[in-house]
């Protein structure tokens, strides 16, 4: 075992493949920012200076690519949950602020919320990742607020996250303020 990491599996990628994967991540991030997460696959490939097949080789579905691009930010959002719970005066406040963070994240990513609500099986991995990572955090916040009687019990955290995502989708109309509508919904949650 001369490997630096003793747990590393024997399969190692070729150097050019690693470079391409990184180039693709950079290109995808740029393309998503410029044209939304629905940007044509060919555009991303062109930005990265690779062929389209290379994208599919590294990221079998668009969802895989999206997850890879936004993983850091989703992680940060997930980790903010317990932190807010610790520092906020009440669990409800923590929940409200955490939802705000989630809205911040979603509405700076053109079309991400829309993709999140699609039932295209190609997006299953995206659903799975977001939900696996964020539902437990939301549940913890919700449970804490329920425990002190600030919020009514029996609200599915998945449903709440889903609703926030939906409210952030489709901002085509300039007079529509997603954040305000989310706050309204969170207000409706409060018991006392």
Partner DNA sequence: ATCTAAACGGATCGACGTTCCGCTTGTCAA
Partner DNA sequence: TTGACAAGCGGAACGTCGATCCGTTTAGAT
- Give the interface with DNA as residue ranges (CB under 7 A): 12-17, 20, 38-42, 49-54, 56-58, 60-62, 122
Distance of alpha carbon 140 from alpha carbon 81, whole angstroms: 8
Residue 118 Cβ, how far from a second copy at the closest point, in Å? 6
Residues 6+ apart with CB under 8 A from 163: 185
Binds 8: which of DNA, a second copy, none (CB < 5-8 Å by kind): none
Question: Smaller CB distance to a second copy: residue 12 or 180?
Answer: 180
What Rg, from alpha-carbon coordinates, does the chain have?
Answer: 19
Size of the site for a second copy (CB under 8 A): 31
- Would you give the distance in Å from CA 70 to the centre of its chain? 6
Residue 123 Cβ, how far from DNA at the closest point, in Å? 9
Residue 98, both tokens: 């955490």
Residue 185 touches a second copy, criterion: CB under 8 A: yes
Q: DSSP 3-state helix, strand, coil percentages of the chain (rounded to 5)? A: 70, 0, 30
Of 74-82, 99-107, 111-119, 142-150, which segment contacts a second copy by CB under 8 A?
111-119
Residue 181 touches a second copy, criterion: CB under 8 A: yes
Its sign, for the CA torsion 72, 132, 67, 35, is negative
Which residues in this chain contact a second copy in the complex, by CB under 8 A?
114, 116-119, 127, 156, 158-160, 162-163, 166-167, 169-170, 172-173, 175-178, 180-181, 183-189
């Amino acid at each position: 075992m001369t490997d630096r990491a003793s747990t590393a599996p024997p399969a190692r990628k070729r150097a050019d493949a690693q470079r391409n994967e990184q180039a693709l991540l950079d290109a995808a991030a740029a393309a998503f920012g410029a044209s939304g997460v629905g940007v044509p696959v060919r555009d991303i490939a062109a930005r990265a200076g690779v062929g389209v097949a290379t994208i599919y080789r590294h990221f079998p579905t668009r969802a895989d690519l999206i997850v890879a691009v936004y993983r850091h930010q989703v992680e940060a959002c997930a980790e903010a949950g317990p932190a807010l719970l610790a520092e906020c005066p009440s669990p409800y406040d923590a929940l409200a602020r955490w939802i705000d963070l989630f809205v911040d994240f979603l509405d700076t990513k053109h079309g991400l919320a829309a993709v999140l609500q699609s039932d295209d099986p190609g997006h299953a991995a995206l659903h799975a990742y977001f939900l696996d990572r964020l539902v437990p955090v939301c549940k913890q916040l919700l449970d804490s607020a329920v425990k002190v009687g600030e919020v009514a019990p029996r609200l599915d955290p998945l449903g709440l996250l889903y609703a926030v995502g939906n409210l952030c989708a489709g901002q085509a109309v300039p007079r529509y303020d997603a954040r305000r509508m989310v706050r309204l919904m969170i207000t409706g949650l409060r018991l006392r």
